[in-house]
Structure 1
Amino acid sequence: MKKPLLLCWVLMGFLSFGQQSQDVTVKQVMKLMGTRFEITVVAPNEDIGYINIDEAVSEIKRIEKIISSWDEASETSLINKNAGVKPVKVSSELFGLIERAKKISEITDGAFDISYASMDNIWKFDGTMDRVPSEKAIALSISKIGYQKIILDQDQQTVFLSEPGMRIGFGAIGKGYAADRAKELLVSKQVKGGIINASGDLTTWGTKTTGEKWLVGIANPLSKEKVFSWLPVIESSVATSGNYEKYIVLNGKKYSHIIDPRSGYPTSGIHSVSVFAKYAELCDALATAVFIMGKDSGIHLINQIDGVEVVVVDSDNKIHKSTGILFNNNP
């Protein structure tokens, strides 16, 4: 009588073993776009995983060649060189990115603005500043900023910066965009799951090899090893802006390196902002915007946008959130 039971147990074990995932997780850290990228993929084996990562890296480098303002041959540099001179015909990819950036500027009343690159860098966060710049110097430093001065011609596919000396830069949206495009490429190649983490701007798809959800921890800005909540990021993205690594203190007041492009003054009152949405590009831009707008105005804005949520840690280390965020303190 025991024989059939033993056979049954072996068969069940075999079936169970056959159903287990043989996938592996492959991760690589590298410097891209001047920052730290961490790419994680779920793959049938390590070799395929590293091939997938190489493909993602190539895509990120391709995007950097388009949006880099340091590369003199990039489309972005060409736009900047011709500021106040003539419109520049660009690829549909770059035109679309600038068009979306302008829309985010409109809904944030200019708190997010890619023409921030026109700003004269009179604020220094390298320890050399010993006084606040004069009001005149600050006003002059932002005189060329203004997303309204970025003229787009849909028919001709051109971009024109209307004032000489104007510049655009993608520092507050480019990493998120690159992460989205790398994810899109890997999904198109049937990569089951992964994370593209561009220095805190990350996007995910699929699940871990165990079938568990990818989780992101919202850290205490004053103690990074302490996580006050874990939030699932399912087929979604998150970006965080913070002032806990780069700031100065003048006359007893703390000034963040994140500067309001409308006033020319550094922001205050917030330690960090984490925005959750489907696309890392949108998260990246809105995290900067909310940081600049401030806790109340920023959360009010996010509560009006479908599919977007935010967690704000203020300068007193208190947590504030949009209406759709539910905290889970267990990883």
Structure 2
Amino acid sequence: MKTKLITLFLLLNFTAFAQVLRKRTTLLMGSKFEITIVAKDAQTAEKNIDTVISEISRIEFLISDWKPASQISQVNSNAGIKPIEVDREVFELTKRALYLSKITGGAFDISFAAMDRIWKFDGSMTEMPTADAIKKSVEKVGYKNIILDSVNSTIFLKLKGMKIGFGALGEGYAADRCRNMMLKKGIKAGIVNGSGDMSTWGKNPKGNHWTVGITNPFLKDSLYTIVPLKNSAVVTSGSYEKFVVFDGKRYSHIINPVTGYPATGLTSVTIFGPDAELANGLSTSIMVLGKEAGLKFINQFPKFSCIMFGDDGSIYHSDNISDKMIKKWKKEL
């Protein structure tokens, strides 16, 4: 009788804590979003996936520079004319992006949206653009010409033809916001993955941490390591699929906003940290800064860590990732 009671208790206890996982993929912000929710039942999980999609759509209609009615599009269409009042949420996101632009010396620049697309990475380029064309392509780029008025919550672009855009930074912001929203609603585990900008929380239904595999871009059929994600975000910027080669030199599709030339030296940068928004900005910046300046830069952010692959196949990591940690992670392969 005692054994039966214990068995019944274990069954009831398991049922009380059993969780189901639901996943859905959809197109948002011009990118593929994959939303994973772990909840007490399928209906609750699906309902909260709907909530996440609604929230991302709301953010998209605020900050998308390709939607004419969005607040950012209004800012861009009034460049050189007048300041535009925006919601506080949009203002604060722009303020954070502008700060990142400043601390990277323009390696990240939210006014990159005005850059002329003279570089082609679809196989059609047969020669490099001229130096004059490259210089002209970034004439309207420059975060120092963005004026923020905190009192009136306005954004003003000083030069006619200037534009700001959030690109993947916006996807990271949306992923973080949805994670925080789900936690407030009592959803204890899930993943919001915006085209590779992943924001995770909690554990999978088996009680294990979510994990992500890091691919060596020079050995695409095998993983370099598997990293456990403990309520953290992960973002990768890379040029292993989009690049051109001239005179034996590899040029990334990630353009340096200051010079107009493609980034060189690094093939991919993966950032781990507490939020996807900043992680995205850091990964893009490091691709532009290069190995030495990039490592020096990331080490100023102790809550964030990185693994990077050089164009020559060499592998580097931030000071807070030890060889011992990587060896431990590799055991999971």
Asked if TM exceeds 0.5, the reply is: yes
Equivalent position SS for 2:58:
helix
Residues 172 and 263 of structure 1, relative CA distance in 2, 3 Å threshold: farther
1:226 equivalent among 219, 222, 225: 222
Give deviations 1:67-108, integer Å, cap 9, x for gaps: 111100000100000001110000000000000001111111
Deviation at 1:181, TM superposition (A): 1.2
Deviation at 1:12, TM superposition (A): 2.2
CA–CA separation in structure 2 for the residues paired with 1:19 and 1:108: 52
Write out aligned runs for 1:135-284 (5 A): 135-284=131-280
**Does 1:14 find its partner at 2:1?**
no
CA–CA separation in structure 2 for the residues paired with 1:182 and 1:227: 29
TM-score normalised by L of structure 2:
0.95
Aligned to 1:111: 107
CA–CA separation in structure 2 for the residues paired with 1:227 and 1:14: 43
CA–CA separation in structure 2 for the residues paired with 1:10 and 1:224: 52
Mark the runs of 5 or more structure 2 residues left unpaired by the alignment: none
Give the RMSD, CA atoms, in angstroms.
Answer: 1.2
CA–CA separation in structure 1 for the residues paired with 2:135 and 2:300: 32
Contact 1:88-1:159 at 8 Å conserved across structures: yes
Deviation at 1:125, TM superposition (A): 1.4
Give deviations 1:99-126, integer Å, cap 9, x for gaps: 0001111111111101011111111112
Specify the code of the residue in structure 2 equivalent to 1:78.
Q
Aligned to 1:33: 29
Deviation at 1:45, TM superposition (A): 1.4
Give deviations 1:20-69, integer Å, cap 9, x for gaps: 23211111111111111111110111121111111100100111101111
Q: Which runs of 4+ in 1 moved over 4 A?
A: none
Contact 1:260-1:266 at 8 Å conserved across structures: yes
Deviation at 1:212, TM superposition (A): 0.7
Aligned to 1:329: 330
Give deviations 1:187-226, integer Å, cap 9, x for gaps: 1211110011111110111111111111111111133341
Equivalent position SS for 2:240:
coil
Deviation at 1:249, TM superposition (A): 2.5
Deviation at 1:254, TM superposition (A): 2.2
Contact 1:116-1:169 at 8 Å conserved across structures: yes
Aligned to 1:98: 94
Equivalent position SS for 1:100:
helix
TM-score normalised by L of structure 1:
0.95
**Does 1:53 find its partner at 2:54?**
no
Worse overlay, 112-121 or 217-226: 217-226
Deviation at 1:161, TM superposition (A): 0.3
Contact 2:36-2:190 at 8 Å conserved across structures: yes
Contact 2:169-2:278 at 8 Å conserved across structures: yes
Aligned to 1:4: none
CA–CA separation in structure 1 for the residues paired with 2:95 and 2:238: 26
Equivalent position SS for 1:223:
coil
CA–CA separation in structure 2 for the residues paired with 1:309 and 1:84: 39
Specify the code of the residue in structure 2 equivalent to 1:329.
K
Aligned to 1:313: 309
The number of aligned residues is 325
Equivalent position SS for 1:235:
coil
CA–CA separation in structure 1 for the residues paired with 2:168 and 2:259: 18
Specify the code of the residue in structure 2 equivalent to 1:59.
E
Mark the runs of 5 or more structure 1 residues left unpaired by the alignment: 1-6
Contact 2:168-2:197 at 8 Å conserved across structures: no
Worse overlay, 92-101 or 173-182: 173-182
CA–CA separation in structure 2 for the residues paired with 1:189 and 1:202: 20
CA–CA separation in structure 2 for the residues paired with 1:62 and 1:330: 42
Worse overlay, 187-196 or 241-250: 241-250
Equivalent position SS for 1:259:
coil
